[in-house]
Every structure is written in structure tokens, then in C-alpha cells.
Amino acid sequence: MRTSIATVCMSGSLEEKLHASAGAGFDGVEIFEQDLLVNPASPEEVRALADRLDLRLNLYQPFRDFEGVEERLLAENLRRAEAKFSLMNRLGIDTMLVCSNVATAGPDDDDLAADHLRRLGELAAGHGVRVAYEALAWGKNVSTYRHAQHIVELADHPAVGTCLDSFHILSRGDDPAGIEDIDPERIFFVQLADAPTLTMDALSWSRHHRLFPGQGGFDLAGFLAHLVRGGYGGPVSLEIFNDTFRQSDVLRTALDGMRSLLWLQDRTRDRLAGTPEPAGAGRQAMTLTALPRSGGPAGHAFTDIRTDDADGVGTVLAQLGFRFRGQHRRKPVQLWEQGGIRMVIDGQRARGVAPSISALGLAVADPAASADRASMLAAPRVPRQNTPDEEALVGVLAPDGTEIFFAPLDPTPAWADEFGPAPGDATSLLTAVDHVNLAQPWQAFDEAVLFFESTLGLSRQPTAEVPSPRGLVRSQVMRTEDGCVRLALNMVPHVLDAGAYPEHIAFATSDVVAVARRARAAGMAVLPVPANYYEDLAARFPLDPDEVAVLRELDLLYDREGDGEYLHFYTETVGTLFFEVVERRHGYDGHGAANAPVRLAAQFALDERRRTRPPHPVRG
Ligand SMILES: O=C(O)c1ccc(O)c(O)c1
Ligand SMILES: [Mg+2]
């Protein structure tokens, strides 16, 4: 597939955008007019830079409000177009995007619009270029791709074709299947954009909320499959108007976009596999890149907490029933274990670091294949130094900086022996990591969702918006089908630093009451839950008063879905890190979303108390 990206997707100067596009591996770019107009470089200099970077300049855009106008205005529009065609000649661009008229068109008249496009085509042909007509979803007369295509057919000029933009088609709920009926030679350009499912006017939705393919709610694999089956072989270009992308690091955005196109191609291959060849079509004009097959994670092999406060974290782990296995024989790293769960307290590069989740070790069938897949999706490798007698694990960096290691499925891995022999048996009430909650900087949220979906094959659950005293928190659970790995990504409110937002690791048990009693007996500080919560609980669910009394006594939270029940409690935070213990009964498969606001309010209140009242009274 010929990949392309519109300069309008990215932040920075035109030069920065071209460098980032080339750096991320795009074949070409669409030049958005504004990016050129504000730039001091001449068109010839821009062209030379693109040549040096081996980037094709695919498209010049947008040309607005051209067709269906009064004759006098048409003359003016053609003059305007001619200036652009000359400019395109200097840039070495052969295609101009013409958006359907949103303002100056008269009454809907397809013959008139076609006549105007034909005249534009004649002018374009004189300059050796061509025009691609695109239906904007809010066009005055022309707002559907079928209508635009009809006018292009009426215009019947070799320099007049169509531009298909997935946003304008899918935002209206139009069926993209008709793409297969269009002569692929008439499709001069294709733009791809995803978007979140929202109810708002198309213009605002399009100009501010577009997302890279796979980050929103549109079926772009289905869309691309129609293009492939229809025989399209031209560039496929990302055209994403997004307020956050425009203020994010330019290379990061370009890499995020390239990741989205790789993931999309892989999914589209799956979609096309097994479908019959379209009747009468020639050879497939587009080859889709495949990703290495790697299978999803089968569980958590270890979880790494970086801190220089190993005592603080170790105390809480001990209260939760973890046993200290040992200190690493070479590094300031501790291993704690319980019921097959491995917690690593990592003191490397940790001076002044409050406890935070620094790495997730995920058990996978083929660590090398998982790492290859992640690398192909532009995930940077974690630099690691091992001595020859140590097990070397490969890891990649998630967008928020969390290290994701691919560990073998082995229940007694060799690397654990580097911490000494396994401790003897004791009662293990905790059996697994149930989920991990990671704070995401607001700029990297959509990128993170795409990262975890494409590299690990985790699927997205519907997002929830959780009120906290410091702002609304967008929460997105990403999980394996069987639920053995669940990551809850929380988008940190803009007012907070991502490092100041609480993150947690939740452990599974089949007896949360026993765990809570044992932890309290060991002196654990549990996050307090207000009495109002329990009064409301008794109103919401027909619970036995004795049961509510136990919940209240132990600061347990409760949720129910059908027959499924969820009982859980939180530890107080150590820095910004805390732990949760959850018991799922009768197949409960959710994450207690209704209780998240209670937790956040309690945590921020605790944080406030700690800041205003130092924990150790000053002696006079
Ligand atoms: O919002 C716009 O004006 C606009 C311009 C060019 C495009 O290709 C597009 O899809 C939208
Ligand atoms: Mg477009």
C-alpha cells in the first residue's frame, strides 16, 4: 500500500512535518495549503527537501467553493485555480483536491456542476495536472460520495476524478460498498480518518475530533477492503484534523499514524481472507503489509514497581500476604511472591522516584515473535544489560513510558532463580493479577489505546467517564478475550501531572473478606469508604443488612451485573501507587466502574490531608 499523511495532521513547521513523515516511513504527503503559505521556503525548496527525504508530494489541498456557481464567479474561480496549478507545477504535485462547494453554489444542478468541473479539468490538463473532487459531508448540494462520483462521470474528462474520504462517508452512515462499483482509475485519491462515535454536527466533528484508523468507532478495515476489492492502487492518506495531535510531538504523531496504517492493513488482510475474488476484477492493485503473528498475552509473568522506597512498598506487599523471595544477586532489585504472582521492587535508576508501575511482564507463547511485532509497529526497545548467565527478556516502551516485557509462559522461570530459591509454602489468598491501572498523559491517550490494541491484541471496552474531585477521568479498559490480562487506561485530567495521578495493581482472590481481615490484622491502612456509599448501596441492591455491615466494617466496595458480584478494597497510596484486591463471583466480568468515583474522591482527600498535615509530627 502506498502510505501518505496530510501535513494538517501534525504540529510544527512544514519542514518538521516533512522530516517526521519521512522518519515514520511514509511514502508521501498531502500538502495542506496553509502549511505552505505560512512557510518562508519557496515551492522549489520544499520540492527539493521532499526529494532529499524520498517523499512524494501527492496532493495539494484544499481548493474550495468552485463548482455550481454563477458564470462571473466561475471565471474568478478558474483564475484562482490556474494560480494553484502553476504553484503545483513548481512543487511537482500532480493532483489538487477540490472540496464540494459549501457556500457559493446556486441551486442543486448536476449538469452545471459537471460542466464546471470539465472546464476545470481542461485547465488542469493544460498544466499537466488533475483534480480530485471530494464530497464534504456538509457540502451545500453535494455531500455524498455517490453524488460526487455521479458529477465526475458527467464531467467525463480524463483530468477529473474523485477523492474518497472515509470520514465524510462513514460519519453520515453511508454504505461504502458502492466504492467497488467505481472505476478505480477514476479514484484519484483516498483519505482515511477514524473518529469517535459522537452525536454532533459533521463539521465540528470532522475539524476537531478525527482520529487515526483504529482509534475511533468507524469500520476502516471494511472501508479499505472495499477499495482493495474495487482495484484501487493509489496512495492511502491519513487526513486527521485533531486538536491534540496538532499540539503533540510531530514525530510521535507521525509514528502513531504509521502504526495505525500497519495495523489497519493487517486487519484488512484478515477481513479479505476467504472472501471470494470480486467478479471481473483484474489483479489486486494494492498489496497489504502483514504483521508477524504473535498471539496475545496469557497472563502476567511479573510486575515491576520502581522506587527508592522499597521498605514502604514491601510493607504493603507483606500485609497483603506476599513473601520476600530475595534480593537480586547483582542488582538493587527485590522479588516478592504469592500464589504465582511475582512483584518486583526495582531500585535501579530510582533515586527520588515515588513508587510507580515501571514494567509489566506479560507471559506470551513466543516472546521473540511478540517483540518483532511490536518493533514493526514502531515500539522502541527497552535498553537492557544482562550478564551472560542471566535470562535476557525483551521489552518495548509503551507510549506512557511503561516497559512491556515479553516473558515465556514458564511458571517457574529461570530469571526468578536470580533472586534465590523459591520460599516455602504459606497460605496464598491472592492468585493472580486481576488488572493493572495505568495513568496516561492526556496527549498520549489515543496513541496508547492503539498501541496496546495493535501490539498486544488487547480489545477495547467502551470508555467510561469517571468524575474525580480534580476533573473528569476518561477510562478505557483494554483486555484479552478471556480476561487474563486487563489494563485500565486512565486519562489524567489536564490540571494534573500524569506522575501525580494514582495508579494501581489489582490482585484476584476468591476470599476478599479473608484477605481484608488478614491485611488489617497485619496493620494495613485501607482506603476509607464514606458511610454515604453504604447507605446508597443498600438502596441500589437488595443486600442482606449483615452483608452490608461486613462491607462497611472492612471498607469493601460492591458491584453487581446480573448474577455476577464484585467485592473489592483498596490500600492507601504509597506515593501515588496503591493496590486493590478483588473477588469476582458468579462470572462478574466488569471493573466496578460505578465505584471508581468513590475511590478517586477518597484518594484525593487522603492526598490533601497528607499535604496539609505532615505524617510525622514535628517534636518541639
Ligand atoms: O474541513 C475541511 O474543510 C476539509 C478540507 C479538506 C478535506 O479533505 C476535508 O476532508 C475537509
Ligand atoms: Mg478529506
Given ligand 1 and candidates 30, 95, 98, 99, which is best to mutate, with the most ligand atoms within 8 Å of its CB? 99
Distance separating the N- and C-terminal Cα atoms of the chain: 73
Task: Report the amino acid identity of residue 310.
Answer: A
pLDDT in tens, 198-233: 999 999 999 999 999 999 999 999 999 999 999 999
pLDDT for the residue 282: 55
Cα gap 154→110, rounded to integer Å: 8
> Is 191 annotated as a binding-site member?
yes
The answer to whether the CB of 299 falls within 8 A of the CB of 331 is no
Band of residue 616 on the pLDDT scale cut at 50, 70, 90:
low
Q: Atom 1 (ligand 1): residue with closest C-alpha? A: 207
> Is 134 annotated as a binding-site member?
yes
pLDDT at 353 over 50: yes
Find out whether the beta carbon of 62 lies less than 6 Å from any atom of ligand 1. Answer: yes
ipTM value for the complex: 0.99
pLDDT at 82 over 90: yes
pLDDT for the residue 52: 98
pLDDT for the residue 618: 52
Cα gap 435→506, rounded to integer Å: 5
Find out whether the beta carbon of 207 lies less than 6 Å from any atom of ligand 1. Answer: yes
Overall average pLDDT of the 37-50 stretch: 97
pLDDT for the residue 601: 92
Q: For residue 493, how far is its CA from the centre of ligand 1 (angstroms)? A: 30
64-81 burial string, b = 16+ CB within 10 Å, else e? bbbbbbeeeebeebeeeb
pLDDT for the residue 334: 97
Q: For residue 191, how far is its CA from the centre of ligand 2 (angstroms)? A: 6
> Is 504 annotated as a binding-site member?
yes
Cα gap 566→306, rounded to integer Å: 30
Overall average pLDDT of the 524-542 stretch: 94
Find out whether the beta carbon of 134 lies less than 6 Å from any atom of ligand 1. Answer: yes
Domain definitions of the chain by residue range = 2-283, 299-607
pLDDT in tens, 432-484: 999 999 999 988 999 999 999 999 999 999 999 999 888 899 999 999 999 99
**Cα 469 to Cα 190, 296, 379, 599, 600, distances in angstroms:** 44, 36, 34, 11, 7
Ligand 1 atom nearest residue 165's Cα: 10
Cα gap 257→278, rounded to integer Å: 29
pLDDT for the residue 620: 41
More confident residue, 494 or 476: 476
pLDDT at 503 over 60: yes
Domain 2-283: CATH superfamily, name plus number: Divalent-metal-dependent TIM barrel enzymes (3.20.20.150)
Task: Report the amino acid identity of residue 437.
Answer: N
Given ligand 1 and candidates 131, 169, 206, which is best to mutate, with the most ligand atoms within 8 Å of its CB? 206
Find out whether the beta carbon of 101 lies less than 6 Å from any atom of ligand 1. Answer: no
pLDDT in tens, 314-325: 999 999 999 999
pLDDT for the residue 501: 85
The answer to whether the CB of 404 falls within 8 A of the CB of 380 is no
Alpha-carbon torsion (417, 419, 423, 427), positive or negative: negative
pLDDT at 517 over 80: yes
3-state helix, strand, coil in the chain (%, to 5): 35, 25, 40
- Let me know if domain 299-607 sits in CATH 3.10.180.10: yes
pLDDT for the residue 390: 81
- Range in 58-72, 378-392, 453-467 with the lowest mean pLDDT: 378-392
pLDDT in tens, 125-182: 999 999 999 999 999 999 999 999 999 999 999 999 999 999 999 999 999 999 999 9
Domains 2-283 and 299-607 in one fold:
no
Cα gap 516→400, rounded to integer Å: 32
Nearest-10 crossing angle of helices 71-91, 43-52: 50
Find out whether the beta carbon of 165 lies less than 6 Å from any atom of ligand 1. Answer: yes
To 10 degrees, the CA torsion angle through 585, 591, 594, 597? 130
Q: What percent of the chain has pLDDT over 90?
A: 86
Given ligand 1 and candidates 133, 239, 240, 243, which is best to mutate, with the most ligand atoms within 8 Å of its CB? 239
pLDDT at 71 over 70: yes
pLDDT averaged over the chain?
94
Cα gap 193→167, rounded to integer Å: 5
pLDDT in tens, 253-297: 999 999 999 999 999 999 999 777 665 555 678 999 999 988 899
> Is 591 annotated as a binding-site member?
no
